[in-house]
Structure 1
Amino acid sequence: MDYFLDNIWWILLSANFLIVLITAGYELMHFREPVKSISLIFALFVLPVIGLLVYYFFAQEFRKSKLFNRKKLYDQKIIQRWENELMLNEKDLENIDRDCIEQKMKLVRLLQNNQKKPVTFHNKVRVLINGENKFSALFEDIKNAKHHIHIEYYIINSGRIGNRLILLLCEKAEEGVKVRVSYDYVASRLSGKAVKKMKSCGIEVYPFMPVWFPNLTRKLNYRNHRKMAIIDGKIGFIGGINICDEYVNFEENPTEKLFWRDTHLRIEGHAVKSLQAQFLLNFNFISGKELKVEENFFPKIDLPEKTAVQIAASGPDTDWQNIMEAILTAINTADEYIYITTPYFIPNNQILTALCMASRIGVEVKIIIPEIGDSVIARYATNSYIEQLLESGVQVFHYHKGMVHAKTMVVDGVLTSIGSCNLDNRSFDINFEINAFLYDKEVAQEMTEVYKKDLKETTELILADWMQRPALEKIREALARLWAPLL
Structure 2
Amino acid sequence: MTTIWAVVLLAIDLAIRITAIIVVPINRRPQTATAWLLAIFLIPYIGFLLFLLIGSTKLPRKRRERQSTINQYILDSTVGMEHVSENSSWPSWLAPVVELNRTLGAMPLVGGNTARLYPEYDESIAAMTEAVAKARRYVHVEFYILAVDDTSEPFFRALEDAHRRGVTVRVLLDHIASRQYPPYRRTLKRLKRMGVQWQLMLPVQPLRGKFQRPDLRNHRKLLVIDGEVAFTGSQNMIDRGYDRWRNRRRGLKWRDLMVRFEGPIVAGIDALFVTDWYSETDDLLLRERETMTAATTEDPLDCQVVPSGPGFEGENNLRLFNALLYNARERIIITSPYFVPDESMLYAITTAAQRGLDVQLFVSEIGDQPLVYHAQRSYYEALLRAGVTIWLYREPTVLHAKHFTIDDDVSVIGSSNMDMRSFTLNLEISVMIRGASFVRSLREVEAGYRAKSRQLTLEEWQARPFRSKVLDNIARLTAAVQ
TM-score in terms of structure 2 length: 0.90
2:283 corresponds, among 287, 290, 293, to 290
The residue type equivalent to 1:199 in the other structure is K
Pairing 1:447–2:442 present: yes
Cα offset for 1:181?
Answer: 0.5
In structure 1, C-alpha distance between the alignment counterparts of 2:310 and 2:336, rounded to whole Å: 22
Cα offset for 1:32?
Answer: 1.2
In structure 2, C-alpha distance between the alignment counterparts of 1:22 and 1:195, rounded to whole Å: 43
1:404 corresponds, among 394, 399, 409, to 399
In structure 1, C-alpha distance between the alignment counterparts of 2:194 and 2:461, rounded to whole Å: 56
Pairing 1:191–2:184 present: yes
1:421 aligned counterpart, secondary structure? coil
Pairing 1:68–2:64 present: yes
Aligned equivalent of 2:233: 239
**Cα contact 2:60–2:212 (8 A) shared by 1:** no
Cα offset for 1:299?
Answer: 4.4
Where in structure 2 are the equivalents of 1:53-202 lying within 5 Å?
53-62=49-58, 68-71=64-67, 72-75=69-72, 81-83=76-78, 85-87=79-81, 95-189=85-179, 191-202=184-195
Aligned equivalent of 1:205: 198
**Cα contact 1:87–1:117 (8 A) shared by 2:** no
Cα offset for 1:310?
Answer: 1.0
Cα offset for 1:157?
Answer: 1.8
2:480 aligned counterpart, secondary structure? helix
Cα offset for 1:435?
Answer: 0.9
TM-score in terms of structure 1 length: 0.89
2:116 aligned counterpart, secondary structure? strand
Pairing 1:358–2:355 present: no
In structure 1, C-alpha distance between the alignment counterparts of 2:6 and 2:220, rounded to whole Å: 45
2:454 aligned counterpart, secondary structure? strand
The residue type equivalent to 2:438 in the other structure is V
Cα offset for 1:404?
Answer: 0.6
- Report the CA distance shift for 1:39/1:74 in structure 2 as closer, same or farther (over 3 A): closer
Aligned equivalent of 2:476: 481
In structure 1, C-alpha distance between the alignment counterparts of 2:205 and 2:275, rounded to whole Å: 23
2:370 corresponds, among 376, 385, 390, to 376
Shifted more, 155-164 versus 224-233: the winner is 155-164
2:12 corresponds, among 5, 15, 23, to 15
1:161 aligned counterpart, secondary structure? coil
Q: Alignment length, in residue pairs?
A: 470
Where in structure 2 are the equivalents of 1:318-357 lying within 5 Å?
318-357=312-351
**Cα contact 1:57–1:221 (8 A) shared by 2:** no
- Report the CA distance shift for 1:211/1:390 in structure 2 as closer, same or farther (over 3 A): same
The residue type equivalent to 2:187 in the other structure is A
In structure 2, C-alpha distance between the alignment counterparts of 1:359 and 1:191, rounded to whole Å: 44
Where in structure 2 are the equivalents of 1:384-403 lying within 5 Å?
384-401=378-395, 402-403=397-398
In structure 1, C-alpha distance between the alignment counterparts of 2:70 and 2:61, rounded to whole Å: 21
2:295 corresponds, among 303, 306, 309, to 303
The residue type equivalent to 2:292 in the other structure is K
**Cα contact 1:425–1:486 (8 A) shared by 2:** no
The residue type equivalent to 1:164 in the other structure is P
The residue type equivalent to 2:268 in the other structure is S
TM-superposition CA deviations, 1:446-475 (whole Å, max 9, x none): 111211221121121111221122222111
Cα offset for 1:125?
Answer: 0.6
Shifted more, 99-108 versus 275-284: the winner is 99-108
Cα offset for 1:59?
Answer: 2.3
In structure 2, C-alpha distance between the alignment counterparts of 1:138 and 1:332, rounded to whole Å: 35
Aligned equivalent of 2:268: 274
In structure 2, C-alpha distance between the alignment counterparts of 1:97 and 1:320, rounded to whole Å: 30
2:177 aligned counterpart, secondary structure? coil
In structure 2, C-alpha distance between the alignment counterparts of 1:349 and 1:484, rounded to whole Å: 12
TM-superposition CA deviations, 1:228-259 (whole Å, max 9, x none): 0100011101100001102699xxxx998423
Shifted more, 402-411 versus 192-201: the winner is 192-201
Aligned equivalent of 1:49: 45
**Cα contact 1:100–1:440 (8 A) shared by 2:** no
Aligned equivalent of 1:35: 31
1:245 aligned counterpart, secondary structure? coil
**Cα contact 1:365–1:394 (8 A) shared by 2:** yes
2:433 aligned counterpart, secondary structure? strand
The residue type equivalent to 1:52 in the other structure is F
In structure 2, C-alpha distance between the alignment counterparts of 1:185 and 1:157, rounded to whole Å: 12
Gaps (5+ residues) in structure 1?
none
Cα offset for 1:159?
Answer: 1.7
Shifted more, 400-409 versus 147-156: the winner is 400-409
**Cα contact 1:368–1:398 (8 A) shared by 2:** yes
